[in-house]
Amino acid sequence: MAITGAAGRIGSVVRAGLRDEVSRLVLVDRVGLTAQSPTEEVHRLDLRDADAVAAALKDVDAVVHLGGVPDEAPLPDLLEGNVRGTHNVLEGARRQGVRRVVLASSNRVSGFYPVAETVTPAMPARPDGLYGVSKVAVEALGRLYADKFGLSVVCLRIGSFEDAPSERRHLSTWLSPRDGLGFVRAALTAPEVRFATVYAVSANARRFWDIDAGADLGYVPLDDAEAFDASLPTDGEPAASDPQGGVYAGAEYTLRHI
C-alpha cells in the first residue's frame, strides 16, 4: 500500500501504525523521508507531477491520500495542491489498477451548519472556507472515479486531529490518533465498498456529526473528548446557532487569502 503526505501529522501516525501490517509500504511526500524498516519504500515527489505519482503507485493495492494543502490558502494554491493533486492520485490509481483509494476530506466541507444540527454525509455541503471548497471537489473527484472507472473510494471527513483537545470546539470535533488510525484501517479493509463518505471523529458526546457510516465500515471510535473538559479553557463555548466551523467560518479567516 501507499501513503501520500507521509511526512505529515496524520501520515506519520498512519505510517507507524500500518508499517508492520503490510508487506510493502510506499511513502510519498515532497519532503525527504528515510525508510525505517525493510518494508518501507520512499518516493520524494510533487503530487502535481502526474507521471511520477503513477510510477510510485505501481504494484500498489491501496493508497491513503493525505497529501495536499492542509488549511485555508489562496484558491489557486488549493486547486493545485488539493484538487489537481487528488486527480493525479486517482488517475494514477486507475492506470495502475489500485484496489482501494482512501481520500482525506475534512469536516470543513460542512462547517456552516449550526452547532445544534447533527450532520450526515448525505446532506449538502456547506463549506466554511476555500479549503472546505477544495475538499468538496476532492470528494466529487472520488465519486467520479468510483462511478465512471470502478475504483473503490472512501472519503474520510477528518475531525480535529490532535493528541488531546486544546479548545472548547474540540469537545465536538476531536479525532484522537488512535481513532484516526482505526478509521483509516477500516477504510482500507472494509469489503464491497464502491464509494463511501464517513465523518472520522472520536466518540465525543458533543459531536456534531453522525458516525453511523463509520460503523458501516467496521469501525466504532473509542475515545471521547469529554474526558478533557475540565482541563480546557472555559471561554469559547459555541452557541447553538454558531457555525460548526467556529473561527474557520469567520470572514477574516478567508479574506486574508483573497
Write out the residue range of the structural domain in which residue 9 sits.
Answer: 2-255
Indicate the pLDDT class of residue 190, thresholds 50, 70 and 90.
Answer: very high
CB 207 within 8 A of CB 135: no
Strand residue runs (E) in 86-131: 100-106
What are phi and psi for residue 62, nearest 5 degrees?
-155, 150
Please, how many CA atoms are within 13 Å of residue 87, restricted to the half-sphere of its CB? 13
H-type alpha helices, the chain: 9-18, 50-56, 75-78, 85-96, 130-149, 170-173, 177-189, 212-217, 251-255
Residue 145: other Cβ atoms inside 10 A: 23
Instruction: Check pLDDT > 90 for residue 214.
Output: no
CB 143 within 8 A of CB 150: no
Catalytic residue among 131, 199, 219, 253: 131
Instruction: Look at the pTM and tell me if it is higher than 0.95.
Output: yes
> Average pLDDT of 79-105?
98
> Average pLDDT of 142-169?
98
Q: How many domains does the chain have?
A: 1
| CATH number of the domain residue 184 falls in | 3.40.50.720
Indicate the pLDDT class of residue 215, thresholds 50, 70 and 90.
Answer: confident
Grid cell at residue 179: 481513532
Indicate the pLDDT class of residue 100, thresholds 50, 70 and 90.
Answer: very high
Indicate the pLDDT class of residue 213, thresholds 50, 70 and 90.
Answer: confident
Cell 490532535 found at: 162
CA distance 58 to 39: 15
CA distance 40 to 38: 6
> DSSP 3-state assignment of 142?
helix
Identify whether 248 is a catalytic site residue.
Answer: no
Instruction: Indicate the length of the chain as a whole number.
Output: 258
